[in-house]
Structure 1
């Protein structure tokens, strides 16, 4: 992943990450989800949500409302 992307959220629940990603995109913030969960044992690993470095503060404010 490029250096301009910053991790702002991680979860073991994919739905949480997808909802937060959609919220960010609805507010014109580009976001990317990376699934690092084990394909068999979902208890291992997390779903990570990244945004561009210059949007980190606004993105964190939006997802913590």
Structure 2
């Protein structure tokens, strides 16, 4: 991944991370999910949401307005 991407959200719940991705995508922010969960058990690890650094302020504002703790 390029160096100008920043992690904006982390969760152990894949579906919560996907909801964050969809919310940001609706506001035309490009999002990448990195699933770092254990593939054998799917109970360990986290899912991380990354955005381009230039969209950071806008993304934080969107998350806060939607009561999502970044």
TM-score in terms of structure 2 length: 0.85
Equivalents in 1 of 2:3, 2:32: separation in Å?
13
Residues 13-37 of structure 1 deviation map (CA, whole Å, 9 limit, x = unaligned): 0111111111111101111100000
Alignment of 1:26-65 (within 5 A): 26-65=26-65
Unaligned runs of 5+ in 2: 66-70
TM-score by length of 1: 0.91
Q: Indicate conservation of the 8 Å contact 1:12/1:42, yes or no.
A: no
CA distance in 2, matches of 1:6, 1:28: 16
Give the conservation status (yes or no) of the 8 Å contact 1:11–1:17.
Answer: yes
Structure 1: 4+ residue segments shifted above 4 A: none
Once superposed, what is the RMSD of the aligned Cα atoms?
Answer: 1.0
Structure 1 runs not aligned, ≥5 long: none
| Alpha-carbon separation, structure 1, partners of 2:7 and 2:45 | 15
